[in-house]
Structure formats: structure tokens, C-alpha cells
């Protein structure tokens, strides 16, 4: 603490804490705000360039969802007595994709008591009125935490940055397909967090009427879903979805009732009566429930999203999604707000980077293609079982021809995975949203491989090995990620500046500050996006389609445009 105090004296500028710092005076390094909930004490953090900011980590936005509140909608947090010390990072309990034990088994990490926001600001004056960026973390609705993507880069800008946790996996997305346990609790947590931010962010120097929501992967899909959920209206003014949107095949989960019943049986609960199932599940150890998801992942961590979002309009009294997102977009039932949607040039490195880590993984995929790929590409439950092998072979022929799966053909495998899981539906989402709204919709393709990449962690390789521009490689230039240094070269620092400026401009005006970048046309048939090759090489591309969308659209998946229209019960 002595070192921190010295640094603060040296570099905290006048007024950054919402107070005037006189020359020679030691600034308060335990900043405190007073809210209707009580006093909250924070701390000081430093950006990548050692500029200070104020941080409040671990502020509750809802009651702990434990005991009788497990599998219930998030409840308003109650005021506390005394001062809440907001200095602890938390994580919701997950079956962790990236942590293994000595037997190479994935581990359960985190806690049930996890509904907290982390707030980073340059002022604790209620009059500061700073633009607010809220990050919704990714992780396939199965793993991750808000703090994974930190403030140390974006807080170079004069904004408020917020991230938060929401319930994941079995604790956040089980459903008995009725109003007893309707599902989407993780999304309800997100809405509760956004409501809390709307009501309280001005105490932390933020403008509650200037909130931009931003997310990666499942976070990006969540951002898009908030455009489709009436409960989110008025909680944000712009959105940025990186590598994820509502129509990606892993977002909506199939057969959730069957999966919930199986998990109940695995932990020793009955599955015939929804109320009995729910009450029994409340009594079981959370770790046991969370860990049971491995029963749905036969190949490594695939499918990476066996539990997720459901169209609860089929059974819930107060649904978040009254209909399938495709139908909502076609019907124009979407918030008319500016939106950025993006993808990277090698999206399929999530999850395919892990396949690179061992030759045996590629051998297994090559020799057991029909068995493995329906899980990797998320169509095991959305294709008629009698057609599944045929569909698998059509995909293989389209991307690999007659070639085997190995390191020489690995890039083709990555293309197949990326196109299916992310890229093709990025175009569909953008086109439908563009047709349904008057607001500008912007798209970009990130094609820059810097000194580091998310793929180095996923594939367990050295950063000098370039297997492509990975899923999330753009996000790390605006949100700091532990172990990935995007500030080590001049080119990477320039890329980070480009993204910081882009975000800052879009947060303020709903328009990115890149003059070259044009929104999707309301009249032209071509799909357009900004292709980011390097900080100094940006170009507009106009294409008939991306991600071989027509090929994927013509396969017999019971999804999106081929999904039978959902009939909501008349009594709801």
C-alpha cells in the first residue's frame, strides 16, 4: 500500500477523484461513494500507460442466488449497514474450459454467490456525466467472468467501464419447459445488472442515459438479444457485438427439457414433476449440478454450449423472448438503435485451436468425422438423425474435398468451423437488423495478427506460431486480457488506439470515427464491411455474402429461416 500511495501522489491529476488535489497533498486512495444502498469503498488502479483510475470491484447488484433463491429470478439487493469494501473479483460457478486437474479433467471454478458488478471510473462526482461502456463477458453461456476483460486499456479514455457476472451453465440456463423453471436466468441476471447500472451509475460519475453495451462471443450474442427483449428497452443506447449474434447456432439450445431431466437424474433428483425437480435441485451441491454438463460434451469441450438461451415465450408468463429471434427480426420487433457487429478472419480457432494442440485430435476428427463434427458444429440436435451422416459428408466435401484432416488442411477445418459457428449468421443477423431498423448498422472483419493472439492460449502454443486471427483477437485491443500483451509493439499500440478511438466515438454519437467506414446499405444487395488489415490498412469490402452463407442455409438444419414458427400458448 505504501508503493501505491507514492504512485498516486506522483501521477493522480487534479480532480480525478471528484475532488481537488492540492499540491503536496496525498490523495485519498480509498475513494468512497454514497448510494441509496449504502457506502461503497473502492481503490485505485492504473492503465497500461500508468494513468490512474478509480475501481470498485465486487459491488452486489442482486441478492446471492443461493439456497431458496437458486433457480429463481434475481432479487433486488438490500441496503447494507456500514461500508461495502468493493475490492474483490468474483466468478460464477462454472465447469471451466481452461482449467484442468492432474488427470486432465476440466475443473469446476467459482461460486454461486456471484452477482456482482465491477466499476471503473475517472470521477466519483455525480455531475461528471461520463459515457458508460458495459461489457458482457463471453464463454458460450457456460464459463467465464466479467473481470476476464479488464479496464487497463479502455480506461485510457475518459469513460466509465463496467463488467459483471451472470449465472452460467446449469445454474443459469436449465429449464423444465414450463413456468416452474422457464429458463434464461442468466439473461435475467444481465437485465438486472443493466437496471442496477441505469439506477446507480451516476454515483460513479457515469451518464445513465449514455450506456453502450459491448460483448464478445456469447456476450456479443447477449448484446444482440437485448435488442430483442422488451425488458431491456431504455437500458442502453448503442451496442457492439464482437463475434456473436442471436442467430448463431450455439445460442439457442435444443431439447432443454430433456437435458434438465437428465441432469436431475444424474444428481439424484426426480424428473417427472417440475416442482419436485426444482426443489430437489435446490438441495443438491452446486458443484455436482454444474459438473454434470460434461455428459453432453463427448469430444473435448464440444459442443461448447450444450446449455443456453431458450425461447421462453412458449411457456413463461413473463417471457424474455416471445418468439424465435429470427421471427422477431423478420417482424421488426427489435430496438431501433445503432449497432456494430464484427467477426475475425479465423473465427473457427475457437474451438479449433485446441485441435491443433495435439495431433491425435486431428486424427480423431479425420477418422471419426461423422461422429465428432455434429457436436463441434452444433447440429447434432438440429438435423434429422437419418440425415446427419449425409450432412456431415456434405460439409466435409465442401471444405476439404477428398483431403484428410491434418496440419496441412487445418486452415480449411478452421474455415468450416468459423463459417458455421459465427460468420454465416453474422451476415444474416446484420441484414435482418438493417432491414428492420432506421439506425445505422456497421460491420467489420478483423484481419490483423499482432504480436500475440488468443489462439496461443487455446492451442497452448508460442505466440510466434501464427495459425490465424483468432476469435477474440480484436477484443484484446480494447479490453485487457491477462497474459496477452497488446502493447509490446508500435503496430499493436496503434491498433489499440484505433479501437479505443472507435469505441469512444461510437459510445458518444452512435457513429464510429473512421470516415471510410460505411454502414450497411438500406438499398444495395451487397453486404459491406470494413476490413481491418492493420492500423494503417483499412478498406471497405462489398460482397454478395460471407462465410459461405448460401451453402449453410441450404443444409437441413431446423434453425432460423427453416425453424417452424413457434406458437405461443394463447393463455400467456
User: pLDDT by residue for the chain (572 residues), tens digit each?
Assistant: 233 333 333 344 334 445 433 333 445 578 999 999 999 999 999 999 999 999 999 999 999 999 999 999 999 999 999 999 999 999 999 998 777 777 777 889 999 999 999 999 999 999 999 999 999 999 999 999 999 999 999 999 999 999 999 999 999 999 999 999 999 999 999 999 999 999 999 999 999 999 999 999 999 999 999 999 999 999 999 999 999 999 999 999 999 999 999 999 999 999 989 999 999 999 999 999 999 999 999 999 999 999 999 999 999 999 999 999 999 999 999 999 999 999 999 999 999 999 998 999 999 999 999 999 999 999 999 999 999 999 999 999 999 999 999 999 999 999 999 999 999 999 999 999 999 999 999 999 999 999 999 998 888 887 778 999 999 999 999 999 998 999 999 999 999 999 999 999 999 999 999 999 999 999 889 999 999 999 999 999 999 999 999 999 999 999 977 664 443 433 33
217 catalytic? Reply is yes
Ranges of H-type helices in 377-477: 388-400, 410-418, 424-436, 454-459
Q: Which of 97, 122, 226, 471 is catalytic?
A: 471
490 catalytic? Reply is no
For 130, the 3-state DSSP assignment is strand
What is the Cα–Cα distance from 366 to 396, expressed in whole angstroms? Answer: 10
Q: pLDDT at position 203, please?
A: 98
The angle formed by the CA atoms of residues 172, 226 and 522, to the nearest 5 degrees, is: 145
Q: pLDDT at position 4, please?
A: 36
CA 298 to chain centre: 24
Q: Which of 175, 217, 241, 292 is catalytic?
A: 217
- Report CA dihedral (486, 492, 494, 497) to the nearest 10 degrees: -20
Closest Cα partner for 233 from 325, 333, 313, 130?
A: 333
Q: Which of 57, 347, 354, 504 is catalytic?
A: 347
What is the Cα–Cα distance from 501 to 535, expressed in whole angstroms? Answer: 12
Question: Which residue has 449497514 as its cell numbers?
Answer: 81
**Please, are residues 137 and 217 in contact by the beta-carbon 8 Å criterion?**
no
Q: pLDDT at position 427, please?
A: 98
What is the Cα–Cα distance from 383 to 389, expressed in whole angstroms? Answer: 10
Q: pLDDT at position 99, please?
A: 77
Kind of pairing between the strands at 130-136 and 160-164: parallel
Closest Cα partner for 244 from 213, 219, 227?
A: 219
User: Rg of the chain over CA atoms, in angstroms?
Assistant: 23
What is the Cα–Cα distance from 174 to 167, expressed in whole angstroms? Answer: 11
**Cis check: omega of the bond before 351, within 30 degrees of 0:** yes
For 192, the 3-state DSSP assignment is helix
Q: pLDDT at position 571, please?
A: 37
Q: pLDDT at position 42, please?
A: 98
408 catalytic? Reply is no
Count the alpha carbons within 13 Å of 347 in the hemisphere toward its beta carbon. 26
Q: pLDDT at position 27, please?
A: 53
For 38, the 3-state DSSP assignment is strand
Grid cell at residue 58: 465486487
**What are the phi and psi torsion angles at 552 (to 5°)?**
-70, -35
**Please, are residues 173 and 309 in contact by the beta-carbon 8 Å criterion?**
yes
Question: Which residue has 458455421 as its cell numbers?
Answer: 420
Amino acid at each position: 500500500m505504501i508503493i501505491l500511495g507514492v504512485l498516486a501522489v506522483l501521477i493522480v491529476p487534479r480532480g480525478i477523484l471528484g475532488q481537488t488535489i492540492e499540491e503536496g497533498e496525498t490523495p485519498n486512495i480509498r475513494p468512497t461513494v454514497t448510494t441509496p444502498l449504502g457506502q461503497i469503498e473502492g481503490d485505485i488502479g492504473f492503465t497500461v500507460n500508468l494513468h490512474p483510475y478509480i475501481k470498485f470491484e465486487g459491488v452486489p447488484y442482486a441478492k446471492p442466488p443461493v439456497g431458496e433463491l437458486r433457480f429463481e429470478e434475481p432479487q433486488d439487493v438490500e441496503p447494507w449497514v456500514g461500508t461495502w469494501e468493493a475490492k474483490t473479483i468474483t466468478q460464477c460457478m462454472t465447469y471451466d474450459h481452461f482449467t484442468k486437474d492432474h488427470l486432465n479433467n476440466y475443473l469446476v471454478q467459482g461460486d454461486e454467490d456471484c452477482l456482482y458488478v465491477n466499476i471503473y471510473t475517472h470521477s466519483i462526482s455525480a455531475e461528471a456525466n461520463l459515457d458508460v461502456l458495459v461489457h458482457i463477458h463471453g464463454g458460450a453461456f457456460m464459463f467465464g467472468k466479467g473481470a476476464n476483460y479488464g479496464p487497463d486499456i479502455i480506461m485510457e479514455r475518459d469513460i466509465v467501464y463496467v463488467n459483471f457476472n451472470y449465472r452460467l451453465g446449469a445454474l443459469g440456463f436449465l429449464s423444465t419447459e414450463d413456468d416452474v423453471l422457464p429458463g434464461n436466468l442468466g439473461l435475467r441476471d444481465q437485465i438486472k445488472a443493466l437496471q442496477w447500472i441505469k439506477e446507480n451509475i451516476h454515483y460513479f460519475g457515469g451518464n445513465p442515459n449514455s450506456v453502450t453495451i459491448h460483448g464478445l462471443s456469447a456476450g456479443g450474442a447477449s448484446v444482440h438479444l437485448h435488442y430483442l427483449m422488451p425488458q431491456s428497452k431504455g437500458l442502453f443506447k448503442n451496442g457492439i457485438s464482437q463475434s456473436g449474434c442471436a442467430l448463431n447456432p450455439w445460442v439457442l439450445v435444443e431439447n432443454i427439457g430433456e437435458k434438465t431431466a437428465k441432469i436431475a437424474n444424474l444428481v439424484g433428483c426426480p424428473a417427472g414433476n417440475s416442482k419436485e425437480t426444482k426443489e430437489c435441485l435446490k438441495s443438491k451441491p452446486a458443484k455436482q449440478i454444474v459438473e454434470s454438463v460434461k455428459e453432453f460434451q463427448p469430444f473435448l469441450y464440444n459442443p461448447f454450449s450444450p446449455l443456453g438461451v431458450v425461447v421462453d415465450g412458449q411457456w413463461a408468463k413473463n417471457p424474455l423472448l416471445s418468439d424465435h429471434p429470427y421471427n422477431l427480426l423478420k417482424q421488426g420487433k427489435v430496438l431501433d438503435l445503432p449497432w456494430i457487429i464484427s467477426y475475425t478472419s479465423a473465427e473457427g480457432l475457437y474451438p479449433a485451436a485446441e485441435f491443433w494442440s495435439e495431433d491425435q485430435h486431428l486424427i480423431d476428427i479425420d477418422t471419426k468425422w461423422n461422429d465428432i463434427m455434429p457436436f463441434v458444429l452444433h447440429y447434432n440436435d438440429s438435423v434429422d438423425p437419418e440425415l446427419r451422416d449425409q450432412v456431415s459428408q456434405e460439409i466435409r466435401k465442401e471444405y476439404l474435398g477428398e483431403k484428410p484432416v491434418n496440419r496441412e488442411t487445418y486452415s480449411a477445418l478452421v474455415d468450416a468451423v468459423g463459417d458455421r459457428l459465427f460468420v454465416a449468421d453474422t451476415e444474416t443477423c446484420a441484414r435482418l437488423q438493417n432491414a428492420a431498423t432506421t439506425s445505422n448498422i456497421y460491420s467489420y472483419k478483423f484481419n490483423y495478427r499482432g504480436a500475440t493472439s488468443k489462439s496461443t492460449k487455446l492451442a497452448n502454443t508460442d505466440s510466434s506460431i501464427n495459425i490465424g486471427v483468432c476469435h477474440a483477437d480484436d477484443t484484446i485491443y480494447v479490453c485487457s486480457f491477462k497474459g496477452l500483451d497488446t502493447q509490446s509493439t508500435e503496430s499493436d499500440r496503434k491498433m489499440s488506439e484505433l479501437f479505443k478511438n472507435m469505441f469512444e466515438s461510437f459510445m458518444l454519437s452512435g457513429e464510429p470515427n473512421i470516415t471510410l467506414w460505411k454502414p450497411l446499405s438500406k438499398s444495395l444487395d451487397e453486404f459491406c464491411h470494413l476490413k481491418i488489415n492493420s492500423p494503417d490498412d483499412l478498406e471497405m469490402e462489398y460482397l454478395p455474402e460471407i462465410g459461405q452463407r448460401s451453402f449453410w442455409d441450404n443444409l437441413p438444419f431446423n434453425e432460423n429461416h427453416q425453424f417452424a414458427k413457434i406458437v405461443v400458448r394463447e393463455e400467456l
